[in-house]
Structure 1
Amino acid sequence: MDSTDLAFFSAVAVAGGIGRAASELNTVQSNVTSHIRALEMKLGVRLFYRSKKGVVLTSVGNTLLPYATRIADLLTEARKAVTEAGPRGDLRIGSMETTAALRLPPILRSYAAQYPDVDIKIETGPTSALIDLVLARKLDGAFVCGPLVHEDIVSIPILEEELVLVTPPSVQTRLQLKKYLSQTAGRKVIVFRAGCSYRRRIQELLAQHGTVDIRWMEMGTLDGIIGCVAASLGISLLPRAVIKSFAEAGQVRGHALRGESGKAMTVFIHRRDAFVSSALQCFMERALQLSLSPGSETASLRKASKA
């Protein structure tokens, strides 16, 4: 098989039509058609069902598509490996909302100052979604909640967060908290969308208190979650560092959790078999140097990274 034929095949599969693929590839339809036919002849199979509305992959075409995508990724990585002369180009980084809100700004400021030729693109989301994007090679790396063990992923410990149960400021003592949790009528657990690791943790925590009839309210932003808790709409589970300024202002209150339920490790992940560009390598080194934590000691992060 020819890699160019595979590239044209992938473009048609994604675009859903010969004409749309030709437009994206900046070529003529006849050129696209000839590459597809050449590939079908070499393989001796039909890859598309054709109609006036466009094309649809056959079962064989669906089988071939991930291999064609992987080959294109490998060629791109090979080109980068032999041609890059230092950190430059695009760097696609994923992050949990909580990490992006507090921990990322120092790293991005320092990194951008030293490597101005790198264009960093940040995508936020829940841990499970970020893992899927890294596995699909749509992100070069991501900050997610650990620990994480996966045969296709390298996981680097970054720092340990203290998680607290976040309530309205009127809930002050542990006895008041217990009473508050038992009175669930009209109250909700305010979380990020499904796939958030903190969501699973608070569900387990409430189950331990006998609270199983949980009503969820999903919010897309950290400020939205904190604002709803401050308005006495419900409770949440967040890193203490994230709510610190809000707690000091008397808007919310953070309640310490006992044992391991109050700890969460933030890790940086990337695909084990992916080419680690100099841009990504320098980014990971900068993350370790700065600890992703304002005012924290570098030594504490290095200790965690060796754990």
Structure 2
Amino acid sequence: MGGIPDGTEHLTLERVGATLVLTLNRPEARNALSLPMLAALHDGWLLADADDGIRSVVLTGAGGAFCSGMDLKALAGRPATGPDDPVRERFRADPDLHWKAMLRHHRPRKPVIAAVEGPCVAGGTEILQGTDIRIAGSGATFGLYEVRRGLFPLGGSTVRLPRQIPRTHALEMLLTGRPYTAAEAHRIGLVGHVVPDGTALERALETAELVNANAPLAVEAVKACVLDTEGLPETEALALELERGHAVLGTADAKEGALAFAEKRPPVYRRA
């Protein structure tokens, strides 16, 4: 796969052109989050950040499911696989590792596109809030079920969700713990597109190609500016936008974009 590691039995990594596809791979458990999956997911985000040849990331799930949340059996105290388990050692060494994997304490610099089929609930809906573009199959389901189980959605939902969708919808989702259909998730703005079942990944890869065709420095600066200005007063936010924007306008890629337009040819961006 051209330098892309195989991942683990709980996550697969594949390079499709300039896109890294991360696939949650526990279909027998509806891709519930396990420690090996989280560790490999964290590694996938770091790989995407480090490899300039990767311009976008698609996150999806195997077997017709996105993610059904944390493995509750493990959460309830299922015995460890052994004292020398290297995965558990990683989590002991970095107690923040699972939050980084779930995009609570890590923000990938490349655009992340979610391709959702089937259940995307609890921790699945929480990871979803860390993605940038969201495409769902028509049969996908969403929801934050934590309050139904006496739990708290610690993956960032009490902070992020009211910033991403209208407050009344965010609080309804958080406080009722009820499931949402893909159509309803689209109506309230949680996902951007609903497509026929089984085609979310195809649509996500098509969207990734549109992103990949653009100047990578500009794409990454736009994403960073949107996130960095959230919650700032407008004057401060606009000042930061000017700073970020002028830096992009001074790049060789910006000159190449204008030249290619004038010469009526596709631009060749070199991240410079």
TM-score where L is the length of structure 2? 0.23
State the TM-score, normalizing by the size of structure 1. Answer: 0.22
Higher RCO (CA < 8 A, seq sep 6+): 1
